[in-house]
Amino acid sequence: MSYPSMVNIKVPRRPIIAYRQIQPPDLAVLEKIHGELFPIRYESEFFHNVVNGRDIVSWGAVDQSRPDEESDELIGFVTVRIVPAKESEIEDLLSFDSSRTDQTLVYILTLGVVDSYRNLGIASSLINEVLKYASSLSSCRAVYLHVISYNNPAIHLYKKMSFQCVRRLYNFYYINGQHYDSYLFVYYVNGGRSPCSPLELVTLFLTYARSGLKSMAARLWKNDERKISKWPKYKESGCLLPTVQTKRMITIHQ
């Protein structure tokens, strides 16, 4: 079965949105939506893992007010993975009993809503499903994710939902020959919290902001000398802590 473009679906006047787990019959639509919404290509194995629940937990949004044959077709999704807290990149951002080996985190892999259904609160509802799920896991201490630095709508959404923007990761993404920064967002659950007090966070930020500005200035000067300054515009946030971060290498296949 072939599916038309999912991005510009005609939305019923009063959509009835429901949420459920993603299942094997959703495979083709899930892959199509990812391809239309994201500037990167995901491997086939990823989608098969999602629909079969192999190490990935997912929720889909459907519009039950659409015609019968389309009423259970995905119009939004979120996928997550559970990771051990000690093996995560945000271990230093958590205050927990290091003697316990069972503590976990929930990492949001992908989140998307087709264009026609945006601004209806669907993304927020999908995130809330993730937060409820994470809170139901007694071992879970936080939900976290990365957002590419130019994705202002996503940044606004996560801040609105009380996620804490804790780090800016320079050159985290490499897409089609271009470097992009990433913001790291965290939402603490089940008693999870930052190991720093608010005052310590401000002190750390001021300390690292100075060194960060110096580093950025040096880099920009170097790029100017080589005449290859192509950095995207961004806004700094006062809630960030620097870190040494492995770059995420992504290639777009068009």
Round to whole Å and give the CA distance between 163 and 125: 15
Tokens 């069972």: give the residue: 102
Angle between helices 44-52 and 27-37 (to 10 degrees): 130
Torsion angle, alpha carbons of 224, 230, 236, 239, to 10: -110
Mean per-residue pLDDT over the chain, rounded: 80
Q: Average pLDDT, stretch 77-83?
A: 97
Q: Look up residue 231 and give its two tokens.
A: 């950095």
What are the pLDDT digits (tens) for 98-138?
A: 666 789 999 999 999 999 999 999 999 999 999 999 999 99
Q: Residue 163: its pLDDT value, please?
A: 97
Q: Are 205 and 241 in contact (CB under 8 A)?
A: yes
> What is the rounded average pLDDT of the residues 69-90?
93
Which two structure tokens, joined as six digits, stand for 48? 């098969």
DSSP state of 233: P
| pLDDT value at residue 101 | 73
pTM summary value: 0.75
> What pLDDT does residue 39 have?
80
Whole-number pLDDT of residue 246: 44
Task: Give Cα 97 distance to the centre of its chain.
Answer: 26
Tell me what pLDDT residue 41 has: 86
| % the chain with pLDDT above 70 | 69
pLDDT in tens, 180-194: 999 999 999 998 887
Residue 204 exposed, middle or buried by CB count within 10 Å (0-12, 13-18, 19+):
middle
